[in-house]
Structure 1
């Protein structure tokens, strides 16, 4: 059992599906709409016929089933400046340049609250938001870790920490406005439970326009991170009552060129081979309120 997804059927019923082989076949777990009991080790029996994704790349389902967020995190947190590329980009954009060098080299990481009660977090296929009061908006593809009691990592997912580089660059104290607004976060399409401690994840991002033309494409690896997943999770729960099932996004190593900004109608695809592909269209945040 490697991946967990959630879907909703035509009658609005939510199901949790667990992968039962290495070929992308998912079977429903009886009696739950939230995967957290399963992640905590409670026993459930897969039932019903296998569900096979219509698209193995994105895990998009057929038969009238729609993928939703693989869980509803009570909180979403983010770590910043965990890759050298991210540090360099934020130094370049910022009017206060040395703060990012200092946090990159510091013992204590940058952590901030991105969302609570899933008010600003969307799932696969749902629109992510960009701020209308910013002319420089970018996606930030990241590995998200699902944390349990005392910061134990239960699973991994893909996250998109959508951000306004213009607002954050004007003043680091504007970080919350640059990061927290309608549709500013996406997670999915699956939760990944590795058989052993992962050695690293490859992250590939592609941004396209409405016509399908690729505007930006690049890849990185979490092996370039200056901090480990366990280290970040431990700092997150240090003297901080983070509810189990919360997601910590662990920073980005992919930064589009300064000349690029997302606009409504763009599509963002973030692919991690072990997890799947998180695909979201772009819309103005005001339309998502």
Structure 2
């Protein structure tokens, strides 16, 4: 299933699989048509993102029509004989920021205290709520006030590594996925087989150039294994980076006169999970409640301390932390196979994926070597 929607206005940059090219093509949308704008001047999405004005380039690129948007969006993802949308990034590193919202801070504390056991989470949630409630919502990370709250929580025995990155001076930034491993709209997203407590994480994802300039944004699902990470923060890599565990799309909306960072800062994200068992979960996340500004998160990720010569995609974190019971009272939400997850915003469209085990999702086989050989065979590099 692929609920593929884009706002009518906007300059979009993405990728499709092309049976003709036996590899990915760089595309944009004009009206209802998908246009292939791959060229020797810009054979990759990365190359366009590195230009001084990516939006102007995409707007003026000649290209050729390769199909109707609805038709290509409706094709089965993974069928190499038919065009279908891919994640809109290619050579960029895929990074993510965690614990950037007050509500998710509280839930991460609960995960840690429950040691990955959802049955213990309800009692701990009540205790933590009594101690801090919503008092963290208006605290600026790294401020003197945040330091005072930290001292108070330590005195209560409730200080956590998650609150340290949530209201302390340093943001949590981790590697979410390997280059080229992200899946796109309509694809299956994967859960590691060891997880029994997990959820979607609807997020805005920034497209950032190697110069640290934010040039656009899209949506992402930072699939989250609550029990694995809750057992130990040292299991973050195992919890976050698995086959098909990172979804990005549907396309990068490039910044122009009609869309800017101000729109990202005020974005409202909606999430719906539709289960084969009839269960429906609705969630909402407002970027107005983020504890760290996107510019701060970018500067903590890329700079003199760390370079990304091919740019990066940066997940900004989520306010969404589901506590609605699905099966057992007090144990909250967890995924079931076949869940259809849709993340949407007014300015970025919608991203839909279906939940499976990582071991049941198509294996990731088209890596950097295959990509470079494909571009060379097509005489694009």
- Which category describes the TM-score, using the shorter chain as reference length? 0.7 to 0.9
Deviations 1:130-177 (A, max 9, x none): 121121011111111111123211211111111110111122222222
Higher Cα radius of gyration: 2
The answer to whether the 8 Å contact 2:27/2:38 transfers is: no
User: Structure 1 residues 108, 127: closer, same or farther in 2, change over 3 A?
Assistant: same
- In the alignment, which residue of structure 2 is the partner of 1:100? 162
Unaligned segments of structure 1, at least 5 residues: none
Match of 2:37 among 17, 24, 29: 29
Aligned residues: 282
Separation of aligned partners in 2, 1:280 and 1:126:
5
The answer to whether the 8 Å contact 1:3/1:275 transfers is: no
User: Structure 1 residues 117, 194: closer, same or farther in 2, change over 3 A?
Assistant: closer
Q: For 1:151, what is the secondary structure of its paired residue?
A: coil
Structure 1 or 2: more strand by fraction: 1
- In the alignment, which residue of structure 2 is the partner of 1:255? 321
How far does residue 33 in structure 1 lie from its aligned partner after superposition? 4.7
Q: Which moved more, 1:41-50 or 1:237-246?
A: 41-50
Normalising by the residue count of structure 1, what TM-score does the alignment of the two structures yield? Answer: 0.87
User: What aligned pairs does 1:72-151 form with structure 2 within 5 A after superposition?
Assistant: 72-95=90-113, 98-119=160-181, 121-151=182-212
Q: Which moved more, 1:37-46 or 1:254-263?
A: 37-46
Normalising by the residue count of structure 2, what TM-score does the alignment of the two structures yield? Answer: 0.68
Match of 1:234 among 299, 307, 311: 299
User: Structure 1 residues 280, 85: closer, same or farther in 2, change over 3 A?
Assistant: same
Structure 1 or 2: more helix by fraction: 2
Unaligned segments of structure 2, at least 5 residues: 1-9, 76-81, 114-157, 324-330, 364-381
How far does residue 102 in structure 1 lie from its aligned partner after superposition? 2.1
CA RMSD of aligned residues (A): 2.5
User: Structure 1 residues 61, 35: closer, same or farther in 2, change over 3 A?
Assistant: farther
Note if 1:46 corresponds to 2:62.
yes
The answer to whether the 8 Å contact 2:165/2:172 transfers is: yes
Separation of aligned partners in 1, 2:290 and 2:333:
24
Match of 2:73 among 45, 60, 63: 60
